[in-house]
Amino acid sequence: MKNSIKVLGIESSCDDTAASVLSLEYNQDQYSKVSIRSSIVFDQNSIHSSFGGVVPELAARAHSEKLDFSVESALEKARISINEIDLISVTSGPGLIGGLLSGVMFSKALALGLNKPLVGVNHLAGHALTPRLIDQTPFPYLVLLVSGGHCQFLIVENESNFKRIGGTIDDAPGEAFDKTAKILGLNYPGGPEIEKRALLGNSEAYELPKPLISQNNCNMSFSGLKTALRRETEKALVYNPILSEDTINDLCASFQKTMKDIFVTKSAIAMSIFKNSYPKIPHIISLVGGVAANTEIRSSLKQLAYMFGFKTVIPPFHLCTDNAAMIAFAGSQLFLKSKESKDNLRPRPRWPLDKTAPSLIGSGKRGRKS
């Protein structure tokens, strides 16, 4: 028997207030078809831009001001009324506590008032399950999750089991993009700004460090990269009181190339691990998270995967950066499998996807995210 549900997703864990409506057809506990009816994202770039990074208090306030409006917009765009929603799915961690509280409290009130079921979702699971939202990618598959707060290689075994096989020991790559942009006087978020500048620069102009590159594992480190770039900037400023456009472009190109080289080297190791663990199934790798919106990083991963006999599934740009469609989808998967848990409905600033993997953050330096 075929059934269908309409899911409202709500995301407010960092600096995007997002709402989305999905329609999902399913047989028993397996979805057979999913369509994104609407996906609304209000970014807070103009609020945080002058600070060069997210200011948690300002982010929380902006979320509470925009949540109802984003839900209304998502319903309007999907042309359905709130009463037609069958399930509400909200990000309950990891992330900034103020934003998580706003989203979870808002969703609880909505679910209570409408008498609808509510599921709390791990934001990272939202990113990691996006390949299934766009492509019905079969389990298990390999994911490189690269965002503003996280960087991990994951084997996605099913909708609630994720095995981490490596990740950053300090900064996240998006964080490194953002901090580098700040050093160079570029706008926040730094990723898209650096990508634009990199197109105009010489990627061989500066040699930047690639820590851990020769270790035969999937761990990475980015904090030294940003520090080395700061040093190169200071050196350039000795000869000129302001950085020339050419210098900025060359630094951006060199930074992006170094980042890409690190991902390529470590993805090769991750693909070997995956192949050894699952020799007899189709091999699939996906790149997800905000940094996956970077064209050079996307194309280099595609090329590498091709050489390793892997299929690549890379979401379109708007589903790489934060959005609520991925949250609606991840919540629907837990709901269908009856794996939703009341415990997931409390805001959890820290919430590792793989609870068995030891913390990597702190093995490099004490970071703010795990």
Provide the binding-site residues for ligand KG4, judged by CB under 6 A.
14, 147-149, 174, 177-178, 189-192, 195, 289-291, 293-294, 321-322
Binding track over 101-140 against Zn ion, x by CB under 5 A: ----------------------------------------
Nearer to ligand KG4, 159 or 322 (CB): 322
Question: Whose CA is closest to 161, among 360, 333, 342?
Answer: 333
Nearer to ligand KG4, 132 or 298 (CB): 298
Q: Long-range contact list for 84-87, CB < 8 A, 24+ apart?
A: 84/6, 85/6, 85/7, 85/8, 85/21, 85/114, 85/116, 86/5, 86/6, 86/7, 86/116, 86/117, 87/5, 87/6, 87/7, 87/8, 87/116, 87/117, 87/118, 87/119, 87/331, 87/332, 87/335
Nearer to ligand KG4, 6 or 348 (CB): 348
Distance, CA of 208 to CA of 225 (rounded, Å): 6
> What six digits make up the tokens of 150?
């996280």
Nearer to ligand KG4, 23 or 44 (CB): 44
**Which does residue 52 bind out of Zn ion, ligand KG4, none, counting CB within 5 to 8 angstroms by kind?**
none
Q: Given strand 151-158, what is the order of strands in its sheet?
A: 161-167, 151-158, 141-146, 284-288, 311-313
**Which does residue 174 bind out of ligand KG4, Zn ion, none, counting CB within 5 to 8 angstroms by kind?**
ligand KG4
Burial of residue 133 (number of CB atoms within 10 Å: 0-12, 13-18, 19+):
buried
HSE value, Cβ hemisphere, 13 Å, CA-based, for 266: 30
Whether residue 94 has a cis bond before it, omega within 30° of 0:
yes
The CB-of-100 to Zn ion minimum distance in angstroms stands at: 13
**Which does residue 191 bind out of ligand KG4, Zn ion, none, counting CB within 5 to 8 angstroms by kind?**
ligand KG4
The CB-of-175 to ligand KG4 minimum distance in angstroms stands at: 6
Q: Does 147 bind Zn ion (CB under 5 A)?
A: yes
Q: Does 193 bind Zn ion (CB under 5 A)?
A: no
Question: What part of residues 7-26 is at the interface with Zn ion (CB under 5 A)?
Answer: none
The CB-of-369 to ligand KG4 minimum distance in angstroms stands at: 9
Question: Phi/psi of residue 362, each to 5°?
Answer: 105, -25
The CB-of-24 to Zn ion minimum distance in angstroms stands at: 22
Distance, CA of 66 to CA of 73 (rounded, Å): 10
The CB-of-370 to ligand KG4 minimum distance in angstroms stands at: 14
The CB-of-342 to ligand KG4 minimum distance in angstroms stands at: 25
Distance, CA of 78 to CA of 129 (rounded, Å): 22
Distance, CA of 11 to CA of 120 (rounded, Å): 11
Nearer to Zn ion, 47 or 273 (CB): 47
The CB-of-288 to ligand KG4 minimum distance in angstroms stands at: 8
**Which does residue 177 bind out of Zn ion, ligand KG4, none, counting CB within 5 to 8 angstroms by kind?**
ligand KG4
Nearer to Zn ion, 121 or 336 (CB): 121
Nearer to ligand KG4, 110 or 173 (CB): 173
Burial of residue 335 (number of CB atoms within 10 Å: 0-12, 13-18, 19+):
buried
Nearer to ligand KG4, 121 or 291 (CB): 291
Q: Does 322 bind Zn ion (CB under 5 A)?
A: yes
The CB-of-43 to Zn ion minimum distance in angstroms stands at: 12
What is the contact surface with Zn ion in residues (CB under 5 A)? 147, 322
